[in-house]
Structure 1
Amino acid sequence: MKFSDPLIQGNLLRRYKRFLADVRLPDGTEITAHCPNTGSMLGCQPEDARVWLTHSDNPKRKLQYTWELVEVAPGQLACINTARANAQARAAVEAGGVAELAGYASCRSEVKYGAENSRIDLLLSGHTDRADAWVEVKNVTLAEGGKGYFPDAVTTRGQKHLRELMVQVEQGDRAVLLFVVNHTGVETVQPADHIDPAYGALLREAIEAGVEVLAYRAELADERGEPSGSLALVEAVPVSVEP
């Protein structure tokens, strides 16, 4: 998948109230953009960082700009728009780009399930010889020394999703946690035990119970480290769960 609108470059002034970011455009104009990320965005808001926005002409929108990408280090980009991860995952699965999830005839999004009132990101069905696959998608943007971590803040919601996935395995279906790596500097993915040790412990319990864990990196930058315009998942990334 690609950005449907041209990207507009600017420099980050500040992010505040979770959903707002002030950005200075190349002509010196300062605008307020929507920040579509409810997390801490740890490591993804360096002072005066280069950022890229999309613009909407929809008169019903309060904010016309949406923050999409940030340069977290020279030549390294991260996509902070968490809404993109589900679309990236679905496009990759439907195109056969996630080998472990290939061969399903149907892919549905936001299907209600579970005792804890959840919605699964992707429900795959109609495989000739495999059980239905319940796929929970997580966006990875926190990186330290080439290692990608999830979550970037304590997540009771993420813990709930792991419990729901374990129940699906008990019922005879496949349950998959798919990390979408939206950071070009990430080489491996692992639980952020230093941020949310409860999530890390529960993830290992889920793996023991049969939950599958995958990670795929998105193509965000070209050979110069500039935005490529693409959000496609391009390659698998190793997952490490050693304490």
Structure 2
Amino acid sequence: MKFPEPLLEGRLTRRYKRFLADVRLMDQEEVTAHCPNTGSMLGCQPENARVWLSRSDNPKRKLKYTWELVETAPGQLACVNTARPNAQARAAIEAGVVSELTGYSQCRGEVRYGEEKSRIDLLLSGHESRPNAWVEVKNVTLSENGQGFFPDAVTQRGQKHLRELMAQVARGDRAVLFFVVNHTGIREVRPADHIDARYGQLLREASAAGVEVLAYRAALAAEDGNPSGRLDLFEAVPVCLECAWSPDGKE
């Protein structure tokens, strides 16, 4: 899975109104890019950070640039475009990369379900011996000392999704919380108890109730630390639900 066109490098001037980012391109042109991320983007908008934009020639678009990647630390890249993870997860599942979710013949997106009127990111069906799998995809970009945390802000919506997944398990189906690790510096994923303690509590309850929790890392960078142009998920990352958070990265 690749970006459709080579990305344009620049320097971040500022992000504002959630959906806008001013960027100075390498030729010194100042442009305003769409920021497709409604979250806090904690740790993903350092002052004057190197960023990479995609460009669209669609005349109907108000902004032709989209913010895709940011260098959060020297040699470490994160994908901040939250429109990407669902496609990344789906491509990896359909390619057989996610060993836990092989054997399904059908994959549908944005299917309505649940008592709280949700939409599941991916619904897998058609397995010869296993029940349907309801897959909720989350983007992980918050990195602290090599640990990846979710969420990066208090999320009532995320809490609702966990309740819905638990309900699917109670009905006899599989339910999966799938973390797309879109940060090259993250070596494991943990609940962000220091940001949303209730989410961390619910996540542990969901796991105990049978919700499967997976994490796979994206191949964003080449060996020199620059963008590889690829979004493929290529390896599993451990998920640690019982680890205690500490600001220095120690247990």
> In structure 2, what is the equivalent of residue 216 of structure 1?
216
Secondary structure in structure 2 of the residue aligned to 1:184: coil
Q: Unmatched 5+ residue regions in structure 1?
A: none
Deviations 1:133-156 (A, max 9, x none): 000000000000000000000000
Give secondary structure in 2 for the equivalent of 1:45.
coil
Aligned partner letter, 1:135: V
- Partners of 1:133 and 1:223 in 2: CA distance: 35
Give the superposed CA RMSD.
0.5
Q: How does 1:1-243 map to 2 (within 5 A)?
A: 1-242=1-242, 243=244
1:35-71 CA-to-partner distances (Å, cap 9, x unmatched) read 0000000000000000000000111000000000000
Alpha-carbon distance in 2 for matches of 1:225, 1:44: 16
* C-alpha distance in structure 2 between counterparts of 1:84 and 1:153, whole Å: 19
CA shift digits 1:90-142 (9 cap, x unpaired): 00000001000001000000000001010000000000111100000000000
After superposition, the C-alpha distances for 1:193-235 in whole angstroms (9 at most, x for unaligned) are: 0000000000000011100000000000011000000000000
Which letter maps to 1:144? E
Identical positions, percent: 76
TM-score by length of 1: 0.99
User: In the aligned structure 2, how far is the partner of 1:143 from the partner of 1:175?
Assistant: 26
Q: Distance in 2 between matches of 1:2 and 1:32?
A: 24
Q: Which residue of the partner structure matches residue 247 of structure 2?
A: none
1:227 is paired with a residue whose SS is coil
Counterpart of 2:249 in structure 1 is: none
Distance in 2, Cα, partners of 1:165 & 1:26: 45
Q: Structure 1 residue runs of 4+, over 3 Å off?
A: none
Deviation at 1:5, TM superposition (A): 1.6
The structural deviation recorded for 1:188 is 0.4
| Partner secondary structure for residue 100 of structure 1 | helix
* CA apart distance, 1:28: 1.1
User: What secondary structure sits across from 1:83 in the alignment?
Assistant: coil
> What are structure 2's unaligned runs of at least 5 residues?
245-251
- SS of 1:78's equivalent in the other structure is strand
